[in-house]
Amino acid sequence: MAKQDYYEILGISKSASKAEIKKAYRKMAIKYHPDKNPGDTTAEEKFKLAAEAYEVLSDDNKKARYDQYGHAAFEGGAGAGGFGGGMNMEDIFSQFGDIFGGGFGGGFSGFGGGQRQARVKGSNMRIRVKLTLEEIAKGIEKKVKVRRKVQADGVRYKTCETCNGSGQVMRVTNTILGRMQTATTCNTCGGAGEVISSKPNGADAQGLIVKEETVSINIPAGVTEGVQLKVGGKGNDAPGKNSISGDLLVLIEEIPHEKLKREGTNIHYDLYINFSEAVLGTSKEIETLTGKVKIKIDTGTQSGKILRLKGKGLPSIESYGTGDFLIHINVWTPQELDKEQRSFFENMLENENFSPNPNKSDKSFFEKVKDMFS
């Protein structure tokens, strides 16, 4: 099922400012907040969708990628749909709780009412993955080793005495409008509601150890340089029994190809042929991203001619089809001639058959460039 447009979800235009995006999200979040709609699964879904849209559109980098590629820009992360994909209630309140102000007590409630502790999320990790054009053309599952912080075996926790397990402390401030009560994260437990009572040797102050782990990353075909994917729950752990792990953010890097040049979904290849091949015609075997193909070079082929192999380029990350493989013909002119060769070409200088005589079907360089980009 196609995902709903993020701008439509928040009811804003693509030109909306950051303040307008935040205002639209806050309005929707308050309208569909769980405390105001207990037991309403439709409201819960709209609440999550609004948070997902805000997570992307409030970030300049994510917004730029979304504007260019749509939802496909964030596909491919194992166990998640990319940025914003698969957000749960804990994610939303841990990341955007400040959006609600003090209207809901700072934390979040269950559908039956009553404040409960917000779950603490671990920090995200970032890695770079380099891909060849061949890997980008087909899509690939990459297995990478990461060193992440995880909770050590044998760590024991007890309820934080400062916040009594809520993860928050209430503060009352006297203002000209009266007494205002706000909730802030507990400094003692960092919002976890728990503190360590005992931990094994080797664990840090938060009860965490560094562990190497192999993570599988599903990378979709057609990704571009700079696209960032998310593998949910494969970042660092956070302290506490009820905490959730951060995410692994994967930045895609493209390895330059020795012979091929990428232009969006199209691939460009320079093919050099000798003068005799251009005059007499020939056939050549070309290595494309999906295998070898045999092409025919017509008699009298001119240097600069472009042969187009439809659908032999890269797939679009937005599933808009596949690009083309463009072969640029370059006729190699000999730079050194023996006496017999020089004599032959000197005799051809006045030959009408060797005089340039382009017809209407022979396009100029600028026309070829225009065709190439159309």
Predicted confidence (pLDDT) per residue in 41-69, tens digit:
888 888 889 888 998 998 888 888 888 88
Residue ranges, CATH 2.60.260.20, the chain: 260-373
**Helix (H) / strand (E) containing 369:** helix 365-373
Low-confidence winner among 68-72, 78-82, 177-181 (lowest mean pLDDT): 78-82
Query: How many CB atoms within 10 Å of residue 295?
Result: 15
d(CA 86, CA 331): 55
Return the CATH superfamily for domain 260-373.
Urease metallochaperone UreE, N-terminal domain (2.60.260.20)
Least confident of 46-60, 102-116, 169-183, 329-343: 102-116
Query: Given this structure, which CATH class describes domain 6-254?
Result: mainly alpha
Q: Give the integer Cα–Cα distance in Å for 75 and 102.
A: 35
Could you give the CA distance from residue 151 to residue 204 in angstroms, rounded to a whole number? 10
- The fraction of the chain above a pLDDT of 90, given in percent, is 44
User: pLDDT band at 11, cuts 50/70/90?
Assistant: very high
Q: How far apart are CA 288 and CA 76, in angstroms?
A: 25
Chain centroid to CA 117: how far?
32
Domain with CATH 1.10.287.110 in the chain: 6-254
Residue 273, pLDDT above cutoff 80: yes
* Model pTM score: 0.61
3-class DSSP state of 224: coil
pLDDT at 86: 53
**Which pLDDT score is estimated for 274?**
93
- CA separation, residue 131 to residues 229, 238, 292, 307 (Å): 14, 31, 21, 27
SS3 138: helix
